[in-house]
Amino acid sequence: MYRIVRVVIGFVLCAGMVYGESRMDTVSMPTLSAKNNRPVVFYLPDGYDSDTTYYPVLFLLHGINGDEYSWPRNGAIKNVMDSLIGHRIVRPCVVVMPNTNAGEYIWGKRYKGMEDNRDIKTHSLTRNILGYFKNRKGNFIDYFDEIVMLAYARYRVSEQAEDRIVAGLSNGSYQAATIANMHPGQYAWVGLFSPVIFGSQTPEPDEDWCITPELPEGTRFFVSVGKADIFRSYGVRYCELLHKKHIPCVLVSSKGGHDWKAWRNDFATFMRYAFPYTKQ
């Protein structure tokens, strides 16, 4: 089933309040799938450097015209996470923010390697948004697996499914849904902010292939759609399809549009669901 939640976000970043020594790391990751080095940004919570805890982990994806700095810069991820954790709303966790641009077709960015598959559709808009040989048949999943392996090798992050979540905005939501489909049962929550999943912007608009009927119990979806979002109908339709597959989905309807103000608020709401704080 899915629930529609209409919310007016009361979450406010507390300017000037300091919650400790969280930090951001930027790592250059050599890849086999993309045949180049790709940057990945990590948020590490206060306390990470002073204990031996294995932390829950969020893999957080940007949109079509974004990069690894979109969430740190436009999403104010450090301030948001510091406040959520500092107020004991959300458990301390590691946030992984990769660059998932496919190649030089993404707004002039010239990260070569992933755009050379010959079977991908030549429509320019499709290439701009996906660029991964239709995602499921190409090397996007291989690339994402390399990101996961980097996180495990470099940082203390939990490998338990209940401690792993994946989320993304706009096109990144499409990628997050792809990851959940290709790795069923490995992510407790899937967060989709203003998802672009149907229509001419996807390679096979009539397919619901990013929904796996056999998703095991425990995998839940969070979908946020602003009342002024141009892709609002896509998010609502996706929740309806999840409902038909008996996959739990929380549908959050807010006042925002397809913009960062809405995504920052939706992210804070999602984290309350996915990693709520519990007393030890």
Cβ-contact 240, 268 below 8 angstroms: no
Q: Which of 195-199, 252-256, 260-264 has the lowest mean pLDDT?
A: 195-199
Distance (Å, whole) CA 243 – CA 3 = 10
pLDDT digits (tens, 9 = 90+) for 200-236: 444 444 445 566 656 666 789 999 999 999 889 888 8
Percent of the chain surpassing pLDDT 70: 70
Segment (H or E) for 188: none
Cβ-contact 91, 56 below 8 angstroms: yes
pLDDT at 2: 52
Distance (Å, whole) CA 145 – CA 3 = 31
Percent of the chain surpassing pLDDT 90: 44
Q: Count of residues for the chain?
A: 280
Contacts of 261 (CB under 8 A, 6+ apart): none
Distance (Å, whole) CA 72 – CA 234 = 26
Q: What is the DSSP string of 4-49?
A: EEE--------TT------EEEEEEEE-SSSSSEEEEEEEE-TTGG
Whether the predicted pLDDT of 249 surpasses 80 = yes
**Nearest CA among 174, 280, 164, 148 for reference residue 220:** 164
Cβ-contact 101, 65 below 8 angstroms: no
Distance (Å, whole) CA 190 – CA 270 = 9
**Single-letter amino acid code for the residue at 119:** D
**Nearest CA among 91, 93, 83 for reference residue 55:** 93
pLDDT at 138: 47
**Single-letter amino acid code for the residue at 30:** P
pLDDT at 67: 84
**Nearest CA among 45, 53, 117 for reference residue 88:** 45
Q: Which of 137-146, 204-213, 233-242 has the lowest mean pLDDT?
A: 204-213
Beta-carbon count within 10 A of 43 CB: 23
Distance (Å, whole) CA 135 – CA 167 = 16
Cβ-contact 178, 145 below 8 angstroms: no
pLDDT at 274: 96
Distance of CA 178 to the CA centre of its chain: 11
Segment (H or E) for 180: helix 171-182
